[in-house]
Amino acid sequence: MKTAVLVAVNVCLVITSALAVDRSKFRTCQQTSFCRRHREGHSRRLYEYELVPDSVHFHGLRHEKESEQKDASDVEDSQAKDSKESVWSSLSRRLLGKDGVDNDGVDNGGGDVKDSFRGTPATLTGKIVNTAKDTSSGSKEELEWSLHAMMDGILRMRITEKYGVPGSAHQNPRVTYDELVLNETDEWKESGFAEWVKPTKEAAAQSDALLKRLAGMVEPNADPSNYMALHYGDGEIDSATGNILLIRVKPFSVWLFREANIEAGPAVVLNSDSMMSFEVRRFKDAPEPEADESEEDGDEAEEEEGETPEKEIVGYWEDGLAIYADGTREEKKTESEEEEGEEEDHRKLAEEDSMEGLDRQGLWEEKFDSHEDSKPYGPMSVGMDISFPQCSHLFGIPEHASSTVLKATSGEGAHYKEPYRLYNLDVFEYELDEVMALYGAVPLVVSQSTETETTGVFWFNPTETFVDVTQSQESSSTHWMSESGIVDVFFMPGPDPAAVYGQYAKLTGTTPLPPMFSLAYHQCRWNYKDEKDVYHVHEKFEELDYPYDVLWLDIEHTDGKRYFTWDEKLFPNPAEMQEKLWSEGRRMVTIIDPHIKRDDGYAIHKEASAKGLYIKKKDGQIDYDGWCWPGSSSYLDFTQEKVRHWWAEQFGYSKYGGSTPSLFTWNDMNEPSVFNGPEVSMQKDLKNLNGDEHREWHNIYGMLFHRATGEGQVMRNPEKNIRPFVLSRSFFAGSQRYGSIWTGDNTAEWSHLEIAAPMLLSLNVAALSFVGADVGGFFGNPDAELFTRWMQAGAYQPFFRGHAHHDSKRREPWMFDGTTLNRLRHAAMARYALLPMWYTVFHEAEVTGMPVMRAMWMQYPRAQMLYPVDDQYLIGSDLLVRPVTKQGATEVEVLFPSKDLWYEADSLVLASSEKPDEGGVVSKVIPTSMDSIPVYQRGGSVIPRKLRLRRSTHMMKLDPYTLYVALDRESKATGTLYMDDEETFDYKSEGQYAIASFSVDLAGKSATFSNVVELGKGWSSSIDELATSRMVERVVIAGLAKRPGAVTLEGQILSFNYDEETKVVVIRKPAVSAMKSWTMLFS
């Protein structure tokens, strides 16, 4: 018996080891020189910054300048402008894109300086100097500083080197990517007013009184003359609705106050801990020995002392481990080996610190594993501490397999030893409760507090970034450390979640309304083998009346991993196959990855090579050659518009043979993943076609690939009027503009189901709304219980797809027993019934920027108990979802915000009716069966549904609506229903849409349920025809205290049923359109 137990334990250990990330492939902060230098203040003595008061210049606002009257200070400013080396003349060129560079970074003949700045002009500018005795460069360091006051309270702070100095290492600007990441400039407007508050010598000066008051709040016994401020906002200057940025001259720090809530203290603080660092570029003191010419970018593994002779490598797997000619595979390092290596790193650092207090390793070249980074420009990192006083809950900076609320990585009681890392990577079999980098990165953090309310900070830097989090009961602090780039920080002062997301939308855009089919269920597997397999799966869904909209094909559908091709033996008639599925309302998706097989007989490669579209080796001349699914591969440079356009052209029906309008796209491996590269990605010293190093644009590569693919789907149709659908694994800030995202290669384990909601909520915190986790887990084999619970949870996540690895057993719904099949079908049907609500919430997201899948605090910012909650969430404002994520669970805890009533979503039975409290929360233990998960509708809402069982969204298009009304404590409710053609851009370009706004008031004698319709101009002329296809067939109202005497509509008496026990009334066949205004009367 003991032997049997021992065997079982050993098997479990093997499985655990097999399904675990190979940590030796991925760097820690200790193994990353710039992070190691700056973490926990190791190099703090090299950086002591102060603002030079005499350099500060107030530029006012562009829209005010014509009416400005010049006073004495203006005269002084104009004299400064006339100076040959004036601050303004240099900054206007270097920071504001003028006199040589416009807002898109185009050289207009004013010099060689090109800074790709996009945005509003600077409001305040000046010079920051490093006064440390020993600087990182060994010489005097000057930085240029600007503040840009924008509409809606947004404030931008930008710090760069002093560009344009002939012969200096920083003669040319650092690489920035405003035009590739930030929103179109027509969304950017200056603030309504701005004034520079500076100290004076006048006894009764209001400016001195303000500075004294604010300075005294942030520093005991502060000297007001060491401070200045920028007061800005959208209303009247004396309306007390603006914001104030308090600026300390020496040492340099800034505090952002909301004018309406000054007494609460600052919402955000920068550099209060003096952790700002800016490694100014310099020339290398002495030439280093040249690398061995026989080595090519570190692609080939070096033989280390004590190792056995190298075997012949014939390939690589996705985990980055080599495949040898003898059929064996490279073994991953054990945990003890990894720990031993980390201990050695710590030892070396300790020795260096003891000798000179500084860590100089990795400044000019750096090695990890067998790969070398030549770092020709030397150390270029930037960093800053950003604090949130009176706030103990921070969110954002995805993607990590961890809780939605950020946990401490530094300081006493830290949950993690490593900082959160932002560096897009293909992490094979990622582990949970980790801060390791994953597939995407969004450097946005949002703070939530009852005292300082909601605030957002966007650290706009696409290079590798580490973020330390330190927490106390009084405040939370973050330390941002980026490998290169500039300091470019956007403040979003809120003060509530809706305001923060409106502000962030101005900067990076919103999620465009997806086509309706993409919100339905997607069926995927690596791989459906051939056309026969595709038809079998499709016909089985048909046979079982199981709704689905899209069938997916993975990499095996291609001719030898050559994208835009088909395996002619397995898929001889791809267009016919797509047309067959489309005839029954289904679409298809094929995978297209960024790695291009290096094969001269492959048209895509041949043309890309001939046109010079590939990323180059570090010499900037030779096409980079890395290893991915096809073997030897090259990678297109999607940072270039001409390359993105060329890629988009490949989706044309004449070029992508076998494609049809019902075929859409899946972008995978776009971190980019390179099996034989450092950390399973590209070397950092590779070059794009502009000669910029990969380290500068690594984190935006996947987003630009995603963007180009979406543009291709639009371009392929003559009218360019069909909305695209593209799924991507990799992302950055702004990816919400281009399509959907999923959480990558999860595992069929309960822990991965449990982490799905926190990960998806974290993505929504970063404004990525169209997101999902693969139902069932990619790796492994879920049993019936796990798969059922995952399908039930997946039905309430924005992107809803089932997916599986090729080694996993087939797990289509019919592969389980009959009872399980019925439960799975019921979960899918629940999703389809709520599609009108999903579509409406996505429309709201496009208009307002508010996330679709919301953490509870986003809707209830005063309920502090809900801040850390990530095992339940809201869809929009009205649907509360609590997935069941524990094996064998028969009950779950649900936290109900007591501000509102809550009804069970399907039966509309009242579930929570506690005393109203703005910040109150009620905990209830809810019994759960295997048939469903707890879902609740908020009292005071109207949710539209479609209840007729159909097998796809295409077949549901003309079906009537059922309106579910949940009354609040005052017997009132409101809601909206958004309608358009569900697939084209006509809702934008032609005004072909309608928005029904429902308002219910059943409290008084004149009880009514009314609909007021906003009709787009494109539909106004055909309203009568369209109205018949948008009918309401049923109204269900919950919370009605007593049976109504009668219900009438336009003089017609309507039939209804009333349930005395549940207090639910059902009005059947009101014969009214959702597209026309009307009023029901209750008596």
Phi, psi dihedral angles at 1019 (to 5 degrees): -110, -5
Torsion of CA 937, 938, 943, 945, to 10 degrees: 0
Name the residue type at position 781: N
Structure-token pair, residue 567: 């395996």
Q: Judge whether 671 counts as a catalytic residue.
A: yes
Question: Closest Cα partner for 54 from 85, 89, 80, 84?
Answer: 80
Q: Judge whether 807 counts as a catalytic residue.
A: no
Q: How many whole angstroms separate alpha carbon 846 and alpha carbon 232?
A: 28
Which of 671, 693, 980, 982 is catalytic? The answer is: 671
Q: How many whole angstroms separate alpha carbon 936 and alpha carbon 906?
A: 8
Q: How many whole angstroms separate alpha carbon 91 and alpha carbon 77?
A: 14
Residue 51: beta bridge partners? 128
| Contacts made by residues 997-1000, CB under 8 angstroms, sequence distance 24+ | 998/942, 998/963, 998/965, 998/973, 998/974, 999/973, 999/974, 1000/942, 1000/965, 1000/967, 1000/971, 1000/972, 1000/973, 1000/974, 1000/1037
Q: How many whole angstroms separate alpha carbon 615 and alpha carbon 677?
A: 14
Task: Provide the H-helix boundaries in 996-1064.
Answer: 1017-1020, 1023-1027
User: Sign of dihedral through CA atoms 330, 332, 334, 338?
Assistant: positive
Query: 461 CB contacts (<8 Å, ≥6 apart)?
Result: 382, 443, 480, 482, 485, 486, 487, 488
Pairing of strands 1078-1082, 1047-1049: antiparallel
Question: Closest Cα partner for 318 from 481, 424, 429, 397?
Answer: 429
Q: How many whole angstroms separate alpha carbon 456 and alpha carbon 66?
A: 33
Pairing of strands 268-270, 322-324: unpaired
DSSP string, 247-307: EETTTTEEEEEEGGGGGG--SEEESTT---EE------SSPPPPPPTT--TT-SPPPPTTP
Which of 195, 366, 453, 745 is catalytic? The answer is: 745
Question: Closest Cα partner for 790 from 825, 826, 748?
Answer: 748
Pairing of strands 487-492, 371-373: unpaired
Length of the chain: 1083
Question: Closest Cα partner for 279 from 31, 28, 486?
Answer: 486
Q: Judge whether 85 counts as a catalytic residue.
A: no
Q: How many whole angstroms separate alpha carbon 831 and alpha carbon 823?
A: 13
Query: 61 CB contacts (<8 Å, ≥6 apart)?
Result: 123, 149, 190, 191, 193, 194
Which of 115, 418, 468, 668 is catalytic? The answer is: 668
Q: Which helix (H) or strand (E) holds 787?
A: helix 784-794
Q: How many whole angstroms separate alpha carbon 1049 and alpha carbon 513?
A: 33
Contact between residue 596 and residue 643 where contact means Cβ atoms under 8 Å apart? no
The answer, yes or no, to whether the previous bond of 251 is cis (omega within 30 of 0) is yes
Question: Closest Cα partner for 492 from 766, 838, 706?
Answer: 766
Residues with catalytic roles: 668, 671, 745
